[in-house]
Amino acid sequence: MKEKDIRNTVNSTHRRKRGLRLLLYIFVLLFLFVVAGGIWFWITLNKPVGKISETEYVYIRPETSFDELKKSINDKIILRHPRIFSLLAKRLELPLYMKTGRYAIDPDMTVMQLINTLRSGRQAPLKITINNIRTQEQLVSRLSEKLMFDSVQLATLLADPRYCDSLGFTTETVRTLFIPDTYEFFWDVTPRQLISTMKKYYSRFWSAGRLEKAQSIGLTPLEIITIASIVEEESAKQDEHARIAGLYVNRLKKGMKLQADPTVKYALGDFTLTRILHEHLQTPSPYNTYYNVGLPPAPIRLPQKSTIDKVLDYERHEYLFMCAKEDFSGYHNFAATFAQHRVNAVKYQQELNRRKIK
């Protein structure tokens, strides 16, 4: 073979080798790129989905779209990788499986955990405290502010005579189902589900032992709750509650008017009154115990469990009258006779006048 042909063959072999090396380099680079991308993606999937230091909550309504949900999530937690969230959410068909509810996003939650939580409808329960409620309107407002349903939906249900009758209540007394306490509900609970749950709690509270005590007094659970509501409005001093309850039980047994000032305020719808005048006592209302004999048709507030128990275990005594103490301590002077009551009342009225309280 000629020298020239030998050189060409050698050069051709070198070129092929260089080409193979180049292809190998490219393949290695692509492989490393894919591996690096895979590692980055794996790290991204296992890192917290957002930039938060404490648990945040997002809410999904029936009309919430996926874009609205994504914006809500981003506003709350600042998504680290919004595009990856969108890509994975759509790949897993989250837009088709979105369920109403309140969902917790913990600081260490990953993107997959978040998507699976939303897709499965795994809600975070909401704690609601029912207390300091006087009227049905207040109750409806308090609950509708915390839960998904509209206030009109709950108000309409509570005003439905047939529905209330099916529960064993009237439209006036149905609110006694809501015994003050802290309860857990799902945010998207319906009004019917809510009331059904409260009925179970109510039945659980009125155990055989409590029902037996009420029966021994000769009163129904509604009447016990109504007395407790008046007791609670009369005094913020819990150590007086059993004594005040005993006073009202005594008056009921004697057929006397209860003459409880808080019922006058309730009848007038004015809870700011600091002094009950003679003109107020003439208010024609079934809730005015100066105007009517016996108990009001329903409680004038939702009393605490402890107050209900104080009525069931009321203090046995002979007191029939009570009047706020003139030292404005919040406590009361009690009397078994009207004559002694007048003495107590004059002392209190004189102090009102001295302090120029009208």
Kindly report, residue by residue over 139-166, the tens digit of the pLDDT. Answer: 999 999 999 999 999 999 999 999 999 9
341 pLDDT higher than 50 = yes
pTM, two decimals, is: 0.84
Residues 140, 154: contact at Cβ < 8 Å?
A: yes
Three-point CA angle 232, 238, 243, nearest 5°: 80
Between 1.10.405, 3.30.1490, 1.10.1760, 3.40.50, what CATH number should domain 56-120 receive?
3.30.1490
Beta bridge partners of residue 334, listed in sequence order: 322
Q: What is the pLDDT of residue 3?
A: 55
Query: What pLDDT is recorded for position 25?
Result: 63
HSE-up of 158 (CA within 13 Å, CB side)? Answer: 25
User: Two tokens at 91?
Assistant: 């790949």
DSSP secondary structure string, 293-336? SS--SS-SS---HHHHHHHHTPPP----EEEE-TT-SS-EEEES
User: What average pLDDT does this structure show over 293-309?
Assistant: 97
Listed by start position, the domains of the chain span 1-46, 56-120, 134-205, 220-315, 318-357
86 in Cβ contact with 70 (< 8 Å): yes
Range in 195-204, 209-218, 323-332 with the lowest mean pLDDT: 323-332
pLDDT at position 10: 45
